[in-house]
Structure 1
Amino acid sequence: MLHLIRTEWLKIKPYRAFWVMVGLAVAIIPAGNYIAAEITSQIVSKTKELIAVAPYDFPLIWQSIANVNSYMTALFAIPMIILVTNEFTYKTHRQNIIDGWERREFVMAKLFWWLALSVLAFLTTVITALVLGLAYGTHPLSFENFEYLFYYLLQVLLSLGIATLIAVLVRRSGLAIVLYLCYIMIVEQVLVLVLKRNFGEIGGLLPLQTGDELIPFPVIGKLLNNADHYDDGVYLLMLCLYIGLMIFLVFRRMLKTDY
């Protein structure tokens, strides 16, 4: 496995566009949450009698930042799409096979970046939460509700899994990015609305919606009606099953397709 990671690193190391995109993704997470913290802090200061704990104060900050960041998973998915589609554009996937790699090893190398980008998003979120919680909070540091960040990590893994599957199916970066964005921004959102309106809570079991159901914004989430909502364990199970399904489909596609 180490030689796969080393080879992948040598291929990506000089790729400036990739590092610029990753750098922007890392920068946008604290920037976006800083804006959200500023806005919510102003609202809380005017409604102190209604809100006991501010969304960006401990322990609610873990849930708040997970919710906000769940809308930015595409920041890491797009570099993932480009990494995968470049293998087909520049025929390096064929060269790897010629050099003695098995197809399974090629997929494992891409799964490394899948995991690495997801962990990077997770760590960036943890650091951002600590900084903003200490800067805007009045309560002491607490890791209560930290599980919401693990829900966020699973959602990022699923989002990147969907992006990777689309990339190996389409093999063209521009089209793959468009299809991915259309799915997460339009197709699934429409399906969720239609299913929830006609069949109730089953609409919450669509892939990315499972993560959204697990990490509602804390203050607003308490005000919403939870009648059409499964137990959190159901959404967590579905989220893990979807991740497993993405890995299976990517492997199946790459092991069965013609090079």
Structure 2
Amino acid sequence: MLRLLNIEFHKLKHNRASRVLTLIYFVLLTSIALIAAIKFDIGPIKFHLAEQGIFNFPYIWHFNTYMASIFKFFLLLVIVSMMANEYSNKTLKQNLIDGLSKKEFILSKFYTVLVFAAISTLFVFVVSLILGLIYSDYNELSIIFSDLEYLLAFFIKLTAFFSFGLFMGILVKRSAFAVGGILVWLFVESIFKGFLFWKFNSDNLDTNNQVNSDLSTISVNDIMQFFPLESMSNLIKQPFTRLNAVQSVGKQIGENFSQDFSVHWYQIAIASAWIFIFIYASYALLKKRDL
């Protein structure tokens, strides 16, 4: 494993674009801390975002992993360009000539994906812990280290997303087309999800032509949870309506923001299954090709 990782990081070290994108990614992760500096002082109105509870334990684990996952696109570019460079620079063929098997080649890429995901998770953990210790109203150990399943969900989400990028990079051999392929897949999933909502809504009209929206939502989500990008999205749901301030405003205007924000084992299982599918498909595709 260390030998394979050493090969990959040697390539990345000499790729300026990959170094720049990786640096940007971790700078953006650090920038989450800048949210604490957001203040609005307009006359009698004083608003400090950090005082609204976003950095309270254990909520911070949910909030920061959700925000950090938005920046995963930058590391995706590193993954797909890493694969595209293997074809354009002919290093893939050279590695195989030098004795690296196709299985070892795919494993070297997958190990790199795991390392990127693990370092990102550790980085978010450290940043969140520091911010929480500074701003949180709750500092008991039992509270600080509760809800850490969001970090596991974050790790699985990144691994699945980067594995998807690795597969697309092998499939189309060009980084721009690989990223474009992922965006097209996102568009296809969104269109299909919209179609399902329309279909269930039209099928569940009662005699008064009122839509049974609860049945529609449950049915659509039950189907969409098995799609790759949707399964990754389900791991960490939006945290904003979980805030007490938002809940209070919702009650005042008659809105119910109740939602299941938990990380469930079956969601991790589905995303993990897609990781296996993407890596195995990458190996099968590479094995089939005549390089």
Give the alignment's TM-score, normalised by structure 1. Answer: 0.85
Change (3 A) 1:191 1:31: farther
User: In the alignment, residue 239 of structure 1 is paired with which amino acid?
Assistant: A
TM superposition shift of 1:36: 7.4
**What corresponds to 2:161 in structure 1?**
159
**What corresponds to 1:238 in structure 2?**
270
2: distance between equivalents of 1:173 and 1:36? 36
Pick which of 204-213 and 234-243 moved more.
204-213
Of 204, 210, 217, the residue aligned with 2:225 is 204
TM superposition shift of 1:256: 1.3
2: distance between equivalents of 1:257 and 1:246? 17
* Counterparts of residues 162-241 of structure 1 (less than 5 Å): 162-184=164-186, 186-196=187-197, 198=200, 199-201=219-221, 202-221=223-242, 223-224=256-257, 226=259, 232-241=264-273
| Structure with the greater alpha carbon radius of gyration | 2
User: In the alignment, residue 9 of structure 2 is paired with which amino acid?
Assistant: W
1: distance between equivalents of 2:67 and 2:7? 35
Change (3 A) 1:127 1:5: same
**What corresponds to 2:34 in structure 1?**
34
2: distance between equivalents of 1:124 and 1:110? 21
2: distance between equivalents of 1:245 and 1:182? 19
Q: CA RMSD in A?
A: 2.7
Answer whether contact 1:37 1:136 (CA < 8 A) is retained: no
Deviations 1:101-156 (A, max 9, x none): 11111111111211111112211211221122123222215011011110011010
Greater helix content: 1
Pick which of 164-173 and 54-63 moved more.
54-63
Deviations 1:135-186 (A, max 9, x none): 32222150110111100110100100110110000001222122224434x3
TM superposition shift of 1:83: 0.5
SS in 1 for 2:134: helix
**What corresponds to 1:51 in structure 2?**
none
Pick which of 82-91 and 168-177 moved more.
168-177
Over 4 Å off, 4+ runs: none
Answer whether contact 2:113 2:163 (CA < 8 A) is retained: yes
**What corresponds to 1:106 in structure 2?**
105
SS in 2 for 1:205: coil
SS in 2 for 1:123: helix
**What corresponds to 1:9 in structure 2?**
9
